[in-house]
Amino acid sequence: RSDEDNLDLNSLRKDYDLIIVALGVWEVTTPNYQTCLVQGKNSTPSDRVGWTLETLKNASSPELQIVFRTSGFDSRHFETDRVLDMNSVAVNFFHNLTSARNDDGGGGVGATSGSVVNMTLVDWGSVIYNRSFKNRLAGDIPLHYSLEARLLFIQQLMHELFKDIPEYV
- What's the pLDDT score for residue 34? 54
Question: What pLDDT, in 10s, does the model give residues 3-42?
Answer: 555 556 677 778 889 999 998 887 777 655 555 655 556 7
Buried b (16+ CB within 10 A) or exposed e, 61-92: beebbbbbbbbbbbbeeebbebbbebbebbee
Instruction: Report which secondary-structure segment, H or E, holds 56.
Output: helix 45-59
Spatial separation of the C-alpha atoms in residues 98 and 18, rounded to whole Å = 19
57 pLDDT exceeds 70?
yes
Instruction: Report which secondary-structure segment, H or E, holds 36.
Output: strand 36-38
DSSP tag of 1:
-
pTM: 0.81
103 pLDDT exceeds 90?
no
- Among 135, 117, 27, 118, which Cα is nearest to 78's? 27
Question: What pLDDT, in 10s, does the model give residues 109-168?
Answer: 444 444 578 999 999 999 999 999 988 898 888 888 999 999 999 999 999 999 877 776
- What's the pLDDT score for residue 110? 43
Q: Which residues pair with 20 in a beta bridge?
A: 67
DSSP tag of 119:
E
- What's the pLDDT score for residue 113? 40
- What's the pLDDT score for residue 35? 55
Across 86-95, average pLDDT? 96
Q: Is 78 helix (H, G, I), strand (E, B) or coil?
A: coil
Which is more confidently placed, 59 or 120? 120
In angstroms, what CA-CA distances link 18 with 4, 9, 59, 60, 167?
Answer: 21, 13, 11, 9, 20
Q: For residue 46, how many other CB atoms are within 10 A of its CB? A: 19
104 pLDDT exceeds 50?
yes
- What's the pLDDT score for residue 112? 41
Q: Rounded to the nearest 10 degrees, what angle do helices 45-59 and 3-15 cross at? A: 70
